[in-house]
Amino acid sequence: MDTGNLAGSSSTRTFREAKPLPRGDDGDPGREDMSMLSRKPAMKKFVTKICVVGEELRRDVQLMDLLKLRFRLEVIYEDPLNTSYSEHTLDQDLVFLVNDFNSQEFENLKSVQAKILGPPYVRTMAERGKENLPFPRQNRPQYCLSMQDFRICFDDHEEMRRDRVKLADLVRYMGGQAKDKIREKEYVISKRNDGDLYRCAEQYKRPVLKPKWVEACWERRNDISFSVTKPSFMDVYRVAPFENLKLYFDFASSDLGEMKEKTLRHKGEVVYTTANATHIIVEKFTERIGHGIPNVWRVTSVWFWKSVDQGYRMNELKFQRKRPSDGRLTPGKEEKQSRHNYSNDRDLSSENLENSNASVLSGYSSDDLDKPSSSKPADKRRQICLELLETEENYVKALEIIVERFKKPLEERNAESEILTKSEMTQIFSKVPPLIQVHSKIKETLENQIRTKWRKDNLVGKVWADFKLDLEKVYPPFINSYDQAKEMMDECDRMKPKFHNFLKAVQSEPGCLRNTLQDLLIRPVQRLGSVVMLLKEILKRTSKSNRDHDYLIHAIANVENVLKKSNEQRKNTDNYAHLLELFNEIDDLPTFGSSQWELLNQVEMNVVAAGGSWSFMKGKTVRLSLLSQFLLVTKVRHGFANTSTANLNATHSRRSLSLSRSISFSHKRKKKLKYMMHILPYSFRTVEKVTVRAAMGTYVLTCRDGINGDEPIILQPTHDYSIESVDELFKGCCDLIRTLQGRTISVEEINEQKLEEMQSSETYRLLIKIVGNHQWNHMGSPGMDQNRPPGGTLKRSTTLSKFGSSLQRSISRISMFSSRSTLPSINEDVRPRPF
């Protein structure tokens, strides 16, 4: 080949001359250095001159300034209709700017393969800060860049063939590409939710959109700020998973109402006869259903929930019900059944997975442990050991299901479209992997001791004794955070539809064996109790001469200690949460607090009367909160009383409280409680309960106020609290005094006889205002009332003056000032005097 002719040719390819390598030591000529033999990068071509077509564009001053000043183009205003252009005579460096791609001018220019651009193309390049306009490709008119780098696949179904060419042109006009095959980044345009292309879109998780999406994008072609992939815009044109399908549900379930609602939301139709159905949905994989219905899919509810979760009509062949007789699947209506439809489900499936809703011993099999085998007496110790191993295997399997079927898929889905935040994922799942690590080792060790190398004196108890420290590391954190994890999961289930659909889809899979995520997450809370019970059963069947006997005793003690420590941490966390919640509702609270304090009980009571320094409490509704160090007394503000009695009346209530989200000391709203005082144990003198019929349910708390000595506070429970709940609180006060002060006091009764003996006391004077005026008559005493009945009972001489009556009078007085009719007239012309 003549290199001179090659260099001087008009070809755009040029090659560098290859240089020989230096000769080797043996004198051989070196080989040619081919590293320099490379292709020069092609020069990118830019627009230098442009012809503006039409008077409308010429009058667009802003556009003309961009062409002339920003991109420094030579602008021509010749009308192409007045010029006879042909493919051969057209200036190859000239680009035409056309405003309407439906006009005759556009068609004329396109017919001679002219380079054509639209005004949005120019504006978009300027918006992006470009200094030059890239030269358009031959035969590729480009109006805008709203679909730049998009690859669009069109369904080849006959319904689409008629419009396919037009839609492909619109895609190219917007900067996109039309492709024949789907790979990873394509968008699928189709009118149906089946076929090979749809299955590929499902596999690659690519959007399947109706042709109207392309048309809607074209309608917005002049809006350079609009994103055609905006979710709210694309969702309008997505092909719904149940579109044009008619679903018949052949089961009754609590989820049936929700399933019907989901069917309608995803463009499907619910039918009530199999004759009109395209799909018959059964709940279980082994349910029988009528045969002989042609062209109808018979699928399980897993198909339904998977379709809702993924947003695609899932392949029915993977979700067909099995025939009860032989385990095979019912025949499909279009294709042959694959042999590995459920291979993924079988990976984690376990038919003897423990039922998390049962007791801690739910891991026991149905076999009778005491039943001997047919050949020789059964080793009862080994039977229980095998039971321990099986439950451990099932427990590890349950934990793996949490990670493999819930945690990891959520992490993968979050990478594309966030379902749960990182914080939510951490709070729900982060404590599970450490449990798997520990129990996988325990399972392997137990399997070696029990199943592989079994001997009667194998050290089964030693396994659990050796893992004491590992168990102490993983269980307290899990149990301590379980309430928060459950609350977070429940809230996300309620508030996040994508997460709800994901849960329904996964939980309906056979691999989960109808276990919900809630069921699986509670398993670690139950596991240690189950282990203790099984170890005790093994100990019963282990002789004292067996070397495993002592190890079993230590193992039981160690596991119980881990369980106790976990529960104590959880209790302390709950107690601290209760205290923070209570303190957050109190105004003017002094600066005191301790995470070691415990909220024991709470009641709300009306202060009927009070003496001495306590008289400021009279007529108020107070909340008595018994803490592990003192009795806290707070005033219940008007409008807040009895707003949370269900929680107040319970001792050690288990509430799921997220401290970070539910408690804030910087909140400035008016709080329901106001601090009044706190009574320390040494201040208590007596706790008494009135049993006189007229004052039944009244309590007298006598405390030392430090000024006037011992003064009474007389209280009555509000309507939302029973006498029993108040009794429980005051008995707790007595226990607190006995524990902290070493004094023994109890709740004493004030009956009619004792009330008579108290006539000279301040307590009697206050009580008589509640009970009313009475005549005290003593049988056989001088001045005895002859009308007094036998037995020395009280005879009431006046109508009772109850606390409610005085309260009603006070309310009546206050109501006078709420009416404008009781106020004096005001001259509104007189301005008030400034302060």
- Indicate whether 744 belongs to any domain: yes
Is the pLDDT at 472 greater than 60? The verdict is yes
Q: What is the pLDDT of residue 712?
A: 86
- Least confident segment among 15-29, 318-332, 583-597, 810-824: 810-824
Is the pLDDT at 323 greater than 90? The verdict is no
Q: How confident is the model at residue 343 (pLDDT cuts 50, 70, 90)?
A: very low
Q: What is the pLDDT of residue 612?
A: 78
Q: How confident is the model at residue 145 (pLDDT cuts 50, 70, 90)?
A: very high
Instruction: Sort strands 94-97 and 49-52 into parallel, antiparallel or unpaired.
Output: parallel
**What tokens does 336 get?**
């042959």
Say how many C-beta atoms besides its own lie within 10 A of residue 663's C-beta: 14
- Indicate whether 626 belongs to any domain: yes
Which DSSP category does 17 fall into? P
Q: What is the pLDDT of residue 404?
A: 94
Q: What is the pLDDT of residue 320?
A: 75
Q: Report, as an integer, the average pLDDT of 726-737.
A: 90
- Indicate whether 452 belongs to any domain: yes
Which of 190, 206, 237 terminates a domain? The answer is 237
Q: What is the pLDDT of residue 830?
A: 35
Q: What is the pLDDT of residue 658?
A: 43
Q: What is the pLDDT of residue 125?
A: 94
Q: What is the pLDDT of residue 668?
A: 55
CA–CA separation, 102 and 537 (whole Å): 86
In degrees and rounded to multiples of 5, residue 260 shows phi and psi of: -65, -40
**What tokens does 771 get?**
């009970």
Give, for 299, the enclosing helix (H) or strand (E). strand 297-300
Q: How confident is the model at residue 33 (pLDDT cuts 50, 70, 90)?
A: low
The answer to whether residues 514 and 622 belong to one domain is no
- Least confident segment among 357-371, 672-686, 690-704, 708-722: 357-371
Distance of CA 743 to the CA centre of its chain: 51
Q: Report, as an integer, the average pLDDT of 295-307.
A: 91
CA–CA separation, 394 and 151 (whole Å): 47
Which DSSP category does 322 fall into? B
Q: Report, as an integer, the average pLDDT of 59-84.
A: 83
Q: Which of the given ranges, 387-396, 562-571, 695-704, 789-798, has the highest pLDDT on average?
A: 387-396
The answer to whether residues 534 and 678 belong to one domain is no
Is the pLDDT at 173 greater than 90? The verdict is yes
Is the pLDDT at 375 greater than 70? The verdict is no
Predicted confidence (pLDDT) per residue in 539-581, tens digit = 999 999 999 999 999 999 999 999 998 888 877 777 777 778 8
CA nearest 222: which of 57, 433, 437?
57
The answer to whether residues 598 and 506 belong to one domain is no
Give, for 687, the enclosing helix (H) or strand (E). strand 684-690
Is the pLDDT at 139 greater than 90? The verdict is no
Q: Report, as an integer, the average pLDDT of 279-308.
A: 79
CA–CA separation, 791 and 813 (whole Å): 43
- Indicate whether 368 belongs to any domain: no
- Indicate whether 31 belongs to any domain: no
The answer to whether residues 278 and 222 belong to one domain is no
Say how many C-beta atoms besides its own lie within 10 A of residue 86's C-beta: 9
For residues 268 and 308, is the Cβ–Cβ distance under 8 A?
no
Say how many C-beta atoms besides its own lie within 10 A of residue 460's C-beta: 28
The answer to whether residues 564 and 499 belong to one domain is yes
609: domain CATH number is 2.30.29.30
The answer to whether residues 527 and 619 belong to one domain is no
Q: What is the pLDDT of residue 781?
A: 33
Is the pLDDT at 835 greater than 60? The verdict is no
CA–CA separation, 400 and 184 (whole Å): 30
The answer to whether residues 108 and 229 belong to one domain is no
Q: What is the pLDDT of residue 613?
A: 79
Alpha helices in 112-176, H assignment, sequence order: 119-127, 158-173
For residues 225 and 120, is the Cβ–Cβ distance under 8 A?
no
The answer to whether residues 497 and 398 belong to one domain is yes
Is the pLDDT at 812 greater than 70? The verdict is no
300: domain CATH number is 3.40.50.10190
- Least confident segment among 237-251, 283-297, 537-551, 737-751: 283-297
The answer to whether residues 625 and 720 belong to one domain is yes
| Residue scoring higher pLDDT (99 or 650) | 99
- Least confident segment among 273-277, 571-575, 645-649: 645-649
| 3-class secondary structure per residue, 383-443 | HHHHHHHHHHHHHHHHHHHHHHHHHHHHHHHHHHCCCCCHHHHHHHHCCHHHHHHHHHHHH
The answer to whether residues 499 and 625 belong to one domain is no
Residues in the chain: 835
96: domain CATH number is 3.40.50
- Indicate whether 756 belongs to any domain: yes
* Maximum Cα interatomic distance, the chain, rounded to a whole number of Å: 153
Q: Which of the given ranges, 444-448, 589-593, 615-619, has the highest pLDDT on average?
A: 444-448
In degrees and rounded to multiples of 5, residue 162 shows phi and psi of: -65, -35
**What tokens does 764 get?**
């009697």
**What tokens does 276 get?**
């009109």
Q: What is the DSSP string of 523-564?
A: HHHHHHHHHHHHHHHHHHTS-TTSTHHHHHHHHHHHHHHHHH
**What tokens does 494 get?**
């309620």
Q: What is the pLDDT of residue 463?
A: 93
226: three-class secondary structure by DSSP: coil
- Least confident segment among 177-181, 445-449, 756-760: 756-760
Q: Report, as an integer, the average pLDDT of 366-393.
A: 69
563: domain CATH number is 1.20.900.10
CA nearest 178: which of 146, 155, 162?
155
Q: What is the pLDDT of residue 753?
A: 80
Q: Report, as an integer, the average pLDDT of 387-416.
A: 93
- Residues of the chain with pLDDT > 70, as a percent, come to 72
- Indicate whether 425 belongs to any domain: yes
Q: How confident is the model at residue 269 (pLDDT cuts 50, 70, 90)?
A: very high
Is the pLDDT at 340 greater than 80? The verdict is no
The answer to whether residues 163 and 99 belong to one domain is no
Domain count, the chain: 5
Q: What is the pLDDT of residue 358?
A: 35
CA–CA separation, 782 and 285 (whole Å): 93
Q: What is the pLDDT of residue 517?
A: 94
Is the pLDDT at 15 greater than 90? The verdict is no
The answer to whether residues 314 and 453 belong to one domain is no
Is the pLDDT at 94 greater than 60? The verdict is yes
Q: How confident is the model at residue 771 (pLDDT cuts 50, 70, 90)?
A: low
- Indicate whether 500 belongs to any domain: yes
**What tokens does 226 get?**
């609009």
Instruction: Sort strands 32-33 and 151-154 into parallel, antiparallel or unpaired.
Output: unpaired
Q: Which of the given ranges, 256-270, 357-371, 413-427, 750-764, has the highest pLDDT on average?
A: 256-270
**What tokens does 793 get?**
């009972």
Is the pLDDT at 445 greater than 50? The verdict is yes
**What tokens does 84 get?**
């006879």
CA nearest 708: which of 629, 614, 828, 622?
614
Give the bridge partners for 612, in sequence order: none
Q: How confident is the model at residue 778 (pLDDT cuts 50, 70, 90)?
A: very low
Task: Quote the domain boundaries for residue 447.
Answer: 380-569
Q: Report, as an integer, the average pLDDT of 146-160.
A: 88
Q: How confident is the model at residue 90 (pLDDT cuts 50, 70, 90)?
A: confident
Q: Exposed, middle or buried, 109 (CB in 10 Å: 0-12/13-18/19+)?
A: buried
CA nearest 714: which of 699, 731, 704, 730?
699
Instruction: Sort strands 208-209 and 186-189 into parallel, antiparallel or unpaired.
Output: parallel
CA distance readout (Å), 434 to 400, 401, 431, 440, 635: 11, 14, 6, 10, 47
For the beta sheet containing 186-189, the strands, ordered from the edge strand earlier in sequence to the opposite edge, are: 177-179, 151-154, 186-189, 208-209
| Residue scoring higher pLDDT (293 or 207) | 207
Q: Report, as an integer, the average pLDDT of 623-643.
A: 80
Q: What is the DSSP string of 726-781?
A: HHHHHHHHHHHHHHHH-----EEEE-HHHHHHTTTSHHHHHHHHHH--EE---TTS
For residues 188 and 207, is the Cβ–Cβ distance under 8 A?
yes
Which of 63, 96, 128 terminates a domain? The answer is 128
